[in-house]
Amino acid sequence: MLRSFQIGKLFGIPLYLHPTFFLLPAWLLLTNGDAGMVLSLFLLLCLAGVFACVVLHELGHALMARWFGIGTESITLYPIGGVARLRRMSDKPFEEICIALAGPAVNLVLALLLTPLLFITAGLESLQEVGVSRFVFELLRANVALLLFNLLPCFPMDGGRVLRAILAHWKGQLHATEIAVRVGLVVALLIAFLSIPLHNPMLIVLAGFVLFAGQMELMGLRQREAHRRAASFAQPVLEPVLNPEAPRPDEAFSGFAWDSRHRVWVQWHKGRPVAYWG
């Protein structure tokens, strides 16, 4: 498995680069093979500038999380963007909303700062030329795209986390996460289909990442919830509680299994259900 390598630190947070990141500049150069040396270098410079904004976006999440007493293990850059790995997720909706919105807020501030700079530089040269105004324009456009894209209700992206936090007020964190993951599934499929008219395969990769990451976080939350409930109370299991259509573990299995029909965790001991939590 490919391992990320550290390229620096920001506010004490290690910054990593995943080896697959280099697929992005390679793809950029391949799709603009006849651009010439100057334009190719300019495109790479724009890419570096955009990912500097991505780092600031993730740093916004990390510093807001630090404000609430939550540390950040690392920030890692991938071809599809960045990921700030927090030491834990907040179980308080207000804190989760603040942490989720801190990243897009950084992009909003950057866009507001770049707008007057664009007007100043555009008066000196054309946006069609390779120069400062074109560079500022590309950064501005990228920050607006990052702002709008991350606010989509697509869990575990920022907008999806805001949706989950709002729903958690009435549904509880687990049920809210399940709803947010379903909404994220629909949005991710729309993103994947959008890649066809836009001729952008990176959107398919992004949609796949969203689906995978959302399911992994939901699975982890279910396991934590099961252990938390197991520590507080248990109920004897009754056969009608189990889903008769679900495959049962073999005789040697001992552990927890999720019954999706009845939305309960079932504890098995040597192939027999002994308790459930729901």
Instruction: Catalogue the active-site residues.
Output: 58
Pairing type for strands 81-86 and 235-236 reads unpaired
Task: In whole angstroms, give the CA distance from residue 198 to residue 87.
Answer: 37
Tell how far CA 90 is from the center of its chain: 15
Task: In whole angstroms, give the CA distance from residue 207 to residue 211.
Answer: 6
C-beta separation of 134 from 102 below 8 A:
no
Task: In whole angstroms, give the CA distance from residue 71 to residue 203.
Answer: 30
Torsion from C-alpha of 37, 76, 62, 184, nearest 10 degrees:
100
Q: Residue 255 pairs with which residues in a beta bridge?
A: 268
